[in-house]
Amino acid sequence: MSLSFARSLRTLSVSGQHARRFPYVLAWSSAPSSARFQSSFPTTGAPLADIDPSRLEVSPTPSPKPLPASSTLKFGHTFTDHMLTIPWDVKSGWGAPQIKPYGPFALDPSSTVLHYAQTIFEGMKAYKDADGKIRIFRPDMNMKRMNTSASRIALPTFNGAALLELIKDLVRLDQQWIPTEPGHSLYIRPSLIGTQKAIGVGPPNEALLFVIMSPVGPYYPDGFKPVALYGTTEFVRAAPGGTGAFKLGVNYAPGILPQQHAAKQGYAQNLWLHGPEHYITEVGTMNVFVVFRKDDGGYELVTPPLDGMILPGVTRDSVLTLAREHASSKNTITGLPANLTVSERPVTMKEVKEASDSGKIVELFGAGTAAIISPVDRIGYLGDDIHIPTGEGGMGPISRAVWTELVGRQTGIIPSDWSVVV
């Protein structure tokens, strides 16, 4: 443990059970080896340094900000007192992590990220349970995906378990920022950007990993509100051989204009389609699920397969896992029908439209970290509107049962090893 970190520990607002992970290095050394990722950069001579939590330096803010009233929170507009930064350079690897007051970065105007969009990010949520314990939902999935994203865009990879330990430190330090009202949480945003001070297109010789946190309210404060989608045939989100399967910044800014086009026509978001068959792929910035009623009276829960164009969402994986455990009777989920089939398979707009016409569509919804489940009631497609049932309270029967289980596990009401206590 570095001197600066040991010194700063005295100022950390961690106590009781939240401090039990210390001493730091011991906890870190027990990290699972599966969370270890190799750098994609060739090393010459001594191996490059990986992220090392024992080198953490903490500089607490001298002037904490007043906590906002939970009722005033707007997604991603308010940030906590501190942030985590970890520099990287091609010669020495990952430098000393720092937790310091939230504030601006000094970035050279030639920084790679500002010209060539070399940025990746993750989104996670921390909850405070009834016992005051802090819980993060499946963070190992985010650490793994962040490394996959980094590799795709020639940014340095890192030890995911080490970053997670540092994120836990940051969450503990700012834990008073976690709102405790139902549906509220602390949104955690890790990002990694290329900061090379040169405008050639290539792997950067410098990068910066940082984590900021924002207290957020429920996505639907007044109950679930189904949204209308525009099945766009003008724009695409991803393509085979592209970057759709990775959580890169480049997948997001290009979607803003199509969203504005959809909004002008009275739709909240785009339903992204692929190919002449108009396969459904994603909705807005979420994965998509659809439930069909089968001829035998059973239900089929379907999401498009991970074919290289679909983001491997943590919520997507959680919905699939819960539904499959229920379908195989491994773990019954209250509210889910007994006769449930779970499929990862392509779905065309033709199939969605025909199922709507014949009354065989049960529901269609988006799934993602921010909204968790987002029900859909209408799809504009080739000039017509396709009606989608939404059920009581604006939410279909399958998604409601899955959502209840998911939120229960996220908030600690339902015990689950998906919920990691900080």
Residues of this chain that bind a copy of itself (CB under 8 A): 74-77, 79, 83, 102-110, 112-119, 121, 151-154, 189, 191, 193-194, 197-203, 210, 212, 214, 232-236, 238-243, 248-250, 252-257, 259-260, 285
Q: What's the min distance (Å) between Cβ of 351 and a copy of itself?
A: 21
Q: What's the min distance (Å) between Cβ of 159 and a copy of itself?
A: 21
Residue 223: left if φ>0, alpha if ψ -120 to 50, beta else—which one?
left
Q: What's the min distance (Å) between Cβ of 27 and a copy of itself?
A: 27
Q: What is the CA radius of gyration of the chain?
A: 22
Beta bridge partners of 73: none
Q: 235: Cβ–Cβ under 8 A, 6 or more apart, which residues?
A: 254, 255, 257, 258, 261, 270, 272
Q: What's the min distance (Å) between Cβ of 400 and a copy of itself?
A: 26
Q: Are 150 and 218 contacting, i.e. CB atoms less than 8 angstroms apart?
A: no
Q: Output 251 or 419, the one with its CB closest to a copy of itself.
A: 251
Q: Output 118 or 416, the one with its CB closest to a copy of itself.
A: 118
Q: List b or e across 97-120, with b for residues whose CB sees 16 or more CB atoms inside 10 angstroms.
A: bbbeeeeeeeeeeebbbbebbbbb
Q: What's the min distance (Å) between Cβ of 356 and a copy of itself?
A: 24
Q: Output 24 or 246, the one with its CB closest to a copy of itself.
A: 246
Q: What's the min distance (Å) between Cβ of 95 and a copy of itself?
A: 17
Please provide the distance, in angstroms rounded to a whole number, between the alpha carbons at the two ends of the chain.
20
- Is 384 exposed, middle or buried, given 0-12, 13-18 or 19+ CB atoms closer than 10 A? exposed
Q: What's the min distance (Å) between Cβ of 110 and a copy of itself?
A: 6
Assigned token pair, 158: 């890192």
Per-residue CA distances from 279 to 153, 321, 344 (Å): 26, 23, 13
Rounded CA separation 172/159 (Å)? 20
Q: Output 315 or 416, the one with its CB closest to a copy of itself.
A: 315
Rounded CA separation 188/102 (Å)? 13
Rounded CA separation 310/320 (Å)? 14
Q: Output 132 or 202, the one with its CB closest to a copy of itself.
A: 202
Q: What's the min distance (Å) between Cβ of 203 and a copy of itself?
A: 6
Rounded CA separation 165/28 (Å)? 7
Q: Are 172 and 12 contacting, i.e. CB atoms less than 8 angstroms apart?
A: yes
Q: What's the min distance (Å) between Cβ of 15 and a copy of itself?
A: 28
Q: Output 153 or 314, the one with its CB closest to a copy of itself.
A: 153
Q: Output 270 or 390, the one with its CB closest to a copy of itself.
A: 270
Q: Output 153 or 401, the one with its CB closest to a copy of itself.
A: 153
Q: What's the min distance (Å) between Cβ of 421 and a copy of itself?
A: 26
Q: Output 77 or 350, the one with its CB closest to a copy of itself.
A: 77
Q: Output 271 or 401, the one with its CB closest to a copy of itself.
A: 271
Q: Which of 252, 240, 170 is nearest to 209 (CA)?
A: 170
The angle formed by the CA atoms of residues 327, 331 and 334, to the nearest 5 degrees, is: 85
Rounded CA separation 155/164 (Å)? 18
